[in-house]
Amino acid sequence: MATATEPLEKADVRVSGSLSRRMILIAAAWIALLLAGGGFALDKVLTAAITNNFDNGIEYMLTSLIVSAEIGPDGEVIFNRELADQRTLEPYSGLYWQVSAPGHEDFPSRSLWDRHLAYGMNHQDIEVHAYNSSQFPGEKLRILERDLKLPGSSTWWRFQVAESRATLDAEIAVLRRTLVRSFLLLALGLIVMAALQTFYGLRPLRKVRLEIAKMRAGKLQRVEGPMPVEVVPMVEELNALIAHNERQAEEARRHAGNLAHALKTPLTVIMNAATAGADDLGETVVREARTMRRQVDHHLARARAVGRRGHAHSRADVWPSLESVERAVSRLYPDVRFDLDGARDLQVHVERQDLDEMLGNLIENAAKYGGGSVFATVRGEAGFVEFLIEDDGPGIAEEDRARLFDRGARLDSNKPGTGLGLAIVRDVAEIYDGTVGLEESEDLGGLLARLRLPAAS
């Protein structure tokens, strides 16, 4: 047996991981998912905006090229004015234009020098088409082109303006670096905030744990102090459980004391008779042993009911229990007529064994002391199930009814029994927050026992 100085043995509880770590990981994953989706969408929008702005510059150049073009005397394209951008005059400057048509020699800008832009596919329209091209080694191009017929010509001429993507790609790279850094910083800040929120939010649970440790050390009786509204129900249930366990422990101590006190007197009588060498020692031992057995049976029945009361899901079907008790009692009293009536689908918040014991005592008393007829009725009423056990016997005077619930009380000593039946019914009913009382039966004229037990929801 452990001494007072030995630490209390801790229950073997399975650990399924940290609640704080789980909450932080969920928040981090969700933040990463949202920021990744938002960053991808934002990158698409901003990249498209930068590309459109880049294309607008090329399209302005393409429009200027088309506006200044006309057909010369030899049927070839000539320009009536020079283009404003001088880069088209510098070889390999990164800005190029070209006019071409099937069956005609290409007319390129001087910046192309010894190169030509690929003609590409036929569009069969006059819309502006933009695309990327890698036709020049080491230089990626953004090309805008348009097909149209110049006045005085039946030929479809293709006007193309190309510009190096170096500037565009550099701007997009800067944009993406900025987005990545910004979103990483934002993700870090949000995760830190989630971690702080988790640790702060779970702080009341750590406080509850410290309060329970103080209770185990005997410094507190209940979990006290202000708690968040979400934690209050748990604390209230915990305090209720503690109070329930204290009541059970107190009941156990009280029953142990009552049993010891009840057995003390019969044992003293037996010891005195044995010491004095009384002639009626045998009769004295049998009589006092019978008294002790009644007390032991009573306290054992009550202790069993107290132990089973802790089951939150205790429930029993009323009608099967009533029929089972009626069959058992009818075998003991075959000359008695039993009638059962009432709802058949009711349930009570009581263990089946305790329900059988209470109904058995009441129905057996009605059969034993009645005139030959027992009528049992069951009905639901305002959260309770009510049992009415009636007999056609002589009944009991009103001033004697309350005394029958005392342990060992009997009005008819000629009938066999211990006098504990009604006392056990009362004690077990009270354990389940029920009641039992004795009245006069209006229908049969005898005694009516009214048992009320909480209905199972």
Tens-place pLDDT, residues 378-435: 999 888 999 999 999 888 878 777 777 664 444 444 444 434 568 778 888 888 889 9
Q: Of 233, 211, 209, nearest to 224 (Cα)?
A: 211
Please state, in angstroms and rounded to a whole number, the distance separating the CA atoms of residues 37 and 43. Answer: 10
| Confidence (pLDDT) at 4 | 43
451: three-class secondary structure by DSSP = strand
Residue 10, pLDDT score: 54
pLDDT > 90? residue 184: yes
d(CA 37, CA 443): 79
Question: What average pLDDT score do residues 274-293 get?
Answer: 79
308 burial type by CB count under 10 A (0-12 exposed, 13-18 middle, 19+ buried):
middle
Per-residue pLDDT reduced to its tens digit, 30-47:
999 999 999 999 999 999
Q: Encode pLDDT of 38-71 as tens digits.
A: 999 999 999 999 999 999 999 999 999 999 999 8
pTM: 0.52
Percent of the chain with pLDDT over 90: 41
Reply yes or no on whether the pLDDT at 6 is more than 80: no
Mean pLDDT of 368-375: 90
Mean pLDDT (the chain, rounded) = 84
Q: What is the pLDDT of residue 414?
A: 43
Neighbours of 346 (CB within 10 A): 20
Question: For the segment 319-345, what is each residue's pLDDT rounded down to a tens digit?
Answer: 999 999 999 999 989 999 999 999 999
Q: Work out the average pLDDT over 114-123.
A: 86
C-alpha distances in angstroms, 356 versus 7, 47, 305, 423? 43, 80, 12, 15
Averaged pLDDT, 286-293: 78
pLDDT of 374 above 80? yes
